Chains A and B, each alone.
Chain A
Amino acid sequence: MTLPENVVAHLQEVLRAPDPPGERYMLHEPVGQGGMGTVYRASDRALGRDVAVKVLRGDVADAEAAVRLEREARILARLEHPGIVPVHDVGTLRDGRVYYVMKLVRGQRLQDFARGAGRSDVLRVVLRVCETVGFAHAHGVVHRDLKPANIMVGAFGEVLVLDWGIARVVGVGPAPDCTVPPPSPVSSQEAAAPPRDPETAPGTVLGTPGFMAPEQARGQPGLVDARTDVYGLGAILRAVVVGDTDGRDVPRPLAAIWTRAVSPEPGARYPSAADLASDITRFLDGQPVTAYREPFTERAGRLFRKYQTAIILVLTYLAVRLLFLVMRGF
Chain B
Amino acid sequence: MNKPILGLLLGGALGALDGLSALASAPEVKPHIMGIVAGSMGKGLVAGVLTGVVARKVNNLAIGIVAGIAIAALLALPFALGTDPATGKRYFWEIMIPGSIVGLIVGYATQKFGQPVPQRT
Contact = CB atoms under 8 A, between A and B. Distances in A.
Nearest to A323: B97
B101 A320 contact: yes
Interface in A283-330: 309-310, 313-314, 316-317, 320-321, 324-325, 328
How would you classify the secondary structure of chain B's contact residues: helix, strand, loop or mixed? Answer: helix
B105 A310 contact: yes
B109 interface: yes
Of A309, A310, A316, A321, chain B has the most CB atoms within 10 Å of the CB of A321
A158 to B, nearest CB: 23
B60 to A, nearest CB: 15
B47 to A, nearest CB: 14
B40 to A, nearest CB: 13
B105 A313 contact: yes
B101 A310 contact: no
Contact of A317 (B24, B93, B101, B109): B101
A321 B98 contact: yes
Contacts of A316: 101
A313 B110 CA distance: 14
Contact of A313 (B26, B93, B101): B101
B102 interface: yes
A328 B102 CA distance: 21
Contacts of A314: 105
Interface in B75-101: 93-94, 97-98, 101
Given A310-B108, A317-B102, A325 B97 contact: no
Contacts of A324: 25, 93-94, 97-98
Of B25, B94, B108, chain A has the most CB atoms within 10 Å of the CB of B25
A310 B110 CA distance: 11
Interface string B100-117: 011011001100100000
A81 B97 CA distance: 56
B98 A320 contact: yes
A149 to B, nearest CB: 39
Contacts of A320: 97-98, 101
A234 to B, nearest CB: 33
Nearest to B26: A328
A325 B109 contact: no
Contacts of A317: 98, 101-102, 105
B21 A321 contact: yes
A175 B32 CA distance: 80
A153 B98 CA distance: 50
Interface in A181-218: none
28 contacts: A309-B108, A309-B112, A310-B105, A310-B109, A310-B112, A313-B101, A313-B104, A313-B105, A313-B108, A314-B105, A316-B101, A317-B98, A317-B102, A317-B105, A320-B97, A320-B98, A320-B101, A321-B21, A321-B24, A321-B25, A321-B98, A324-B25, A324-B94, A324-B98, A325-B24, A325-B25, A328-B25, A328-B26
Q: Which 6 A-B pairs have the closest CB atoms?
A: A317-B101, A313-B105, A324-B25, A324-B94, A325-B25, A321-B21
